């Protein structure tokens, strides 16, 4: 077991985690559907439940598992626009639970670790808080239904596959076969739902191939077969290449010789990613917290069998590949840096793997150093609370400089008016369809602030999506509203009077 400490000492970090995550969870109650959510619903009405799967596979996306979820299980397709609120909250809680599941599954004998449920809960919460605070584009990962399915759900699947694979290799003997079978489901979703998660799964599978005990080799063979089939589907799906070509047209000056500059440009992308203050500092914070937790575990845990040099080499290679392959993928497919919405997943994987590597280093090297000098001694308690509080100060400063204060500001100033104005907009569009109006002119969103749940270009210049209508009668979102609500012409005029909202 990991060391425990007094409830008073744990109060401050736990309170900080709750205050950091609370606004992101509460904002889910004001969430609204966005571009692809409406578009996928319209496509399913036009092509049918099965027809839309075939059509999308051929013309836009070979991600057949997430495509199925984005259409058939899309609440917007059935007119339940408020369903995206439930999905966003469920996904965020599911991500927390999946991180906790992975921590609870860490029973590899050389690690000598077993997380209690409460310890895993708060450790996962801390990692999630660091991510939400620094996410490059929180809206597209947390609140956009289609984006959450493609990036968040597939990562949830990869986390749970890894946890189940660990249980299949080193868990209780009675449950290993069941864990191995269940692991096939999240692995299939992770590999077929998103190309980024697919390449992130490859070093995980490679590390399992090196480390799994002999008894788990049949399970590994099944997982590798699933991976081979998934790679084949991704490489041959017509829709994947249509989408890649649309995102990186052949006219791109670097396209023809991208192989010659693939590695250096990928390294450049990763370097620029880490040089962004929130990304780099959050990664350092994850490493520091992991190191500190490893030293705490070393102080109270059993003797740790040192990892052999080949084991360290395998871990470091897997860590490097896990965090580099995403940049390589995008530099090859679109000849550019990863899309901002993909950087969310890249950052969360980086934070988790860095914290894990820091924990292992803190426990492994700390134990070796302690045993080489003298027998292990009980941890010093004098001034330990002050030292731990000093450790928290940089973390609190980091949270105060990222999305956490933005989310609180948005929750207290803009979330409720956003919900009311969007409901009024949807009501006006339904009324226009009902009476057969050829045109409807709507006002833009009038809000004091928007960035996390409500990314609006007039409040920020670094957002990936402006979720409002385009001024005039043209624009992608205007067209999506026209098709979904079946109104011939949807326009936006800043001088239009506000729509009546429900009391």
Separation of alpha carbons 229 and 315, rounded Å: 26
Residues 6+ apart with CB under 8 A from 423: 501, 502
Residue 279 near residue 327, CB atoms below 8 Å: no
- Return the structure tokens found at 319: 């860590």
From the CB of residue 345, how many other CB atoms can be counted at a distance below 10 Å? 25
Q: Encoding tokens for residue 209? A: 């191939």
Tell me the helix, strand and coil percentages in the chain, rounded to 5.
75, 0, 25
Q: In what helix (H) or strand (E) does residue 105 lie, and over which residues does it extend? A: none
Record the tokens describing residue 29, joined without a space.
């109650």
Q: How far apart are CA 153 and CA 74, in angstroms?
A: 14
HEC letters along 228-277: HHHHHHHHHCHHHHHHHHHHCCCCCCCCCCHHHHHHHHHHHHHHHHHHCH
Tens of each residue's pLDDT in the chain, 503 residues: 344 455 656 777 888 899 999 999 999 999 999 999 999 999 999 999 999 999 999 999 999 999 999 999 999 999 999 999 999 999 999 999 999 999 999 877 766 666 788 889 999 999 999 999 999 999 999 999 999 999 999 999 999 999 999 999 998 889 999 999 999 999 999 999 999 999 999 999 999 999 999 999 999 999 999 999 999 999 999 999 999 888 887 777 777 788 888 999 999 999 999 999 999 999 999 999 899 888 877 776 665 677 888 889 999 999 999 999 999 999 998 888 999 999 999 999 999 999 999 998 888 875 444 444 344 444 444 455 555 566 666 777 778 889 999 999 999 999 999 999 999 999 999 999 999 999 999 999 999 999 999 999 999 888 889 999 999 999 999 999 999 999 999 999 999 999 998 76
* Burial class, 372, CB count within 10 angstroms (exposed 0-12 / middle 13-18 / buried 19+): exposed
Is 0.85 surpassed by the pTM of this model? Answer: yes
Could you state, in order of their start, the residue ranges of all structural domains in the chain? 7-408, 415-492
- Confirm if 363 and 297 have CB atoms less than 8 A apart: yes
Q: Which of 357, 426, 410, 497 is nearest to 138 (CA)?
A: 410
The Cα–Cα gap between 40 and 146 comes to: 9
């Amino acid at each position: 077991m990991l060391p425990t400490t007094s409830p008073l000492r744990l109060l401050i970090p736990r309170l900080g985690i709750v205050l950091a995550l609370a606004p992101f969870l509460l904002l889910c109650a004001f969430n609204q559907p966005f571009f692809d959510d409406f578009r996928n619903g319209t496509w399913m009405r036009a092509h049918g439940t099965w027809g839309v799967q075939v059509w999308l596979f051929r013309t836009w996306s070979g991600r057949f598992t997430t495509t199925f979820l984005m259409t058939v299980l899309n609440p917007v397709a059935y007119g339940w626009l408020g369903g995206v609120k439930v999905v966003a909250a469920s996904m965020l809680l599911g991500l927390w639970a999946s991180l906790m599941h992975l921590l609870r599954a860490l029973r590899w004998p050389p690690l000598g670790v077993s997380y209690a449920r409460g310890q895993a809960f708060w450790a996962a919460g801390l990692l999630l808080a660091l991510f939400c605070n620094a996410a490059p584009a929180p809206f597209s990962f947390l609140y956009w239904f289609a984006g959450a399915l493609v990036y968040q759900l597939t990562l949830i699947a990869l986390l749970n596959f890894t946890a189940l694979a660990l249980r299949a290799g080193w868990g209780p003997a009675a449950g290993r076969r069941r864990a191995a079978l269940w692991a096939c489901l999240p692995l299939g979703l992770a590999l077929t739902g998103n190309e980024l998660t697919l390449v992130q799964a490859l070093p995980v599978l490679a590390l399992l191939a090196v480390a799994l005990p002999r008894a788990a080799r049949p399970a590994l063979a099944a997982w590798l077969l699933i991976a081979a089939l998934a790679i084949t589907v991704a490489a041959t799906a017509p829709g994947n290449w249509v989408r890649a070509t649309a995102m990186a047209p052949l006219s791109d000056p670097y396209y023809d010789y991208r192989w010659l500059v693939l590695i250096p440009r990928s390294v450049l992308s990763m370097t620029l990613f880490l040089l962004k203050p929130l990304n780099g500092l959050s990664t350092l914070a994850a490493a520091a917290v992991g190191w500190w937790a490893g030293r705490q575990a070393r102080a109270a845990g059993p003797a740790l069998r040192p990892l052999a040099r080949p084991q360290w080499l395998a871990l470091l290679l897997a860590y490097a590949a896990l965090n580099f392959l995403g940049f390589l993928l995008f530099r090859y497919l679109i000849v550019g840096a990863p899309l901002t919405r993909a950087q969310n997943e890249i950052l969360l994987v980086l934070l988790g793997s860095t914290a894990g590597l820091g924990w292992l280093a803190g426990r492994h090297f700390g134990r070796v150093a302690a045993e080489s000098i003298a027998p292990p001694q009980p941890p010093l308690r004098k001034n330990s609370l002050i030292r731990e509080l000093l450790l928290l100060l940089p973390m609190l400063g980091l949270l105060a400089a990222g999305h956490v204060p933005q989310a609180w500001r948005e929750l207290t100033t803009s979330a409720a008016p956003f919900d009311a104005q969007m409901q009024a907009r949807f009501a006006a569009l339904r009324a226009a369809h009902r009476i057969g109006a050829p045109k409807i002119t709507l006002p833009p969103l009038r809000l004091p602030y928007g960035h996390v749940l409500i990314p609006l270009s007039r409040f920020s210049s670094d957002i990936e999506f402006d979720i409002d209508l385009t001024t005039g009668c043209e624009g992608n979102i205007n067209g999506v509203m026209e098709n979904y609500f079946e109104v011939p012409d949807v326009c936006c005029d800043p001088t239009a009077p506000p729509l009546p909202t429900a009391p």
